[in-house]
Amino acid sequence: MSDSGVNALCVDATLVELQPLRYTPAGVPVAGCMLRHESRQVEAGTSRDVAVELQAVALGELAAVLAAATPGMAMRVSGFLAAKSLRSRIPVFHLNKIEFLEGMKNGF
């Protein structure tokens, strides 16, 4: 396995569902959520509407930031994709950065 491969994702999304803050056996805080992204993208020269829901997780100090959010909040999130577990290869978005967008529209 190469440690130099690119695995980066940045998405503007709305918090749809927030799971209760929990802790790993080692005591690391974990917050899970479901994010919804909607936008218009250009593909093969044609504009199309895009909508997707992503399962996401934040660990450590960022988990407390996510846990303080409420469903419906707009945010810009970045991180990487990883399999949910060794048994489930379903992708989960692991958040490294959360920027809340509420109040930032029109430069405010």
How does pLDDT run across 21-61, given as a tens digit for each residue?
A: 999 999 999 999 999 999 999 999 999 999 999 999 999 99
Sign (positive or negative) of CA dihedral 63, 67, 68, 71: positive
Q: Is 106 a residue whose pLDDT tops 50?
A: no
Write the CB contacts of 41 (distance below 8 Å, at least 6 apart in sequence). 47, 48, 50
Q: What is the pTM of this model?
A: 0.88
For the chain, what are the domain ranges? 9-96
Q: Tell me how far apart the terminal alpha carbons of the chain are, to the nearest angstrom.
A: 44
Please write down the HEC assignment for all residues of 80-105.
Answer: EEEECCCCCCCEEEEEEEEEECCCCH
Class level of CATH domain 9-96: mainly beta
